[in-house]
Homo-oligomer: A and B are copies of this chain.
Amino acid sequence: MTATATSTNTSATGRDNRRPQLLDSAARNFCDQGYDAASMRDIAAAAGMKAGSMYYYFPSKEDLLVAVHEEGIRRITDAVNDALAAVEGPWERLRAAIGAHLDVLLGGGDYARVVIKALPPDDSEAHDRLIALRNDYEAIFVRLVNELPLPDGTSRRHLRLLLLGAMNWSQTWYRPAGDDPQAIAEAFVQLIRQGEPQ
């Protein structure tokens, strides 16, 4: 008996739970329709289940959204950290991070998109928690921007907000037929980098 399994197995395969499929389905539905418009029935149906059964895995719709957000943030964070692992130079590192962020956000499936598109109601308990999660992630960019060689008096805070805003808003206008996420990242960095001190 391991400490992680709290109950006896009910399936010979060990895959005794369908949380992952439910999360996938929830991510897809929240992304397509928004949090309010997505229904538990539809989410369950897309995972091959009836609505009532979901409550075995998630005690409420809001908990489901929180779980999708956590997974989404985790995926973006991992992608950005992976992209940074082998890159040297402050501008190159910023470019790599923006590229990874845009890759996941624009071409990486539904989880990351939900993080940007579907927030819970402003007054809910989950709201503050998800904002905090996002802030943790954005701390990566605080550091990347702080390491840039910039003229004195440049507002690094506004630079970070400018870039994160531009990145996150790109969901609004991005079309796969246009230039790809890496090209967008390159263009954004060039715009900031113009005339930098050589």
Contact = CB atoms under 8 A, between A and B. Distances in A.
Interface of A: 32-34, 36-37, 121-122, 150-151, 154-155, 158-159, 161-170, 172-173, 184, 187-188, 190-192, 194-196
Copies in the complex: 2
B121 A37 contact: yes
18 contacts: A33-B121, A150-B194, A151-B194, A155-B187, A158-B187, A161-B166, A161-B173, A163-B166, A164-B169, A165-B165, A165-B169, A166-B166, A168-B169, A169-B169, A192-B194, A194-B194, A194-B196, A195-B196
B36 A191 contact: no
Given A165-B166, A194-B195, A188 B122 contact: no
Given A122-B32, A165-B170, A169-B168, A159 B191 contact: yes
Contacts of A196: 194-195
A36 B150 CA distance: 44
B192 A158 contact: no
Given A32-B122, A155-B191, A165-B165, 20 more contacts: A34-B34, A36-B36, A36-B37, A37-B121, A151-B194, A154-B194, A155-B187, A155-B190, A158-B184, A158-B188, A158-B191, A161-B166, A161-B173, A162-B166, A164-B169, A165-B167, A166-B166, A192-B192, A194-B194, A194-B195
A155 B183 CA distance: 11
A51 B195 CA distance: 58
A116 to B, nearest CB: 9
Contacts of A162: 162, 166, 188, 191
A151 B192 CA distance: 13
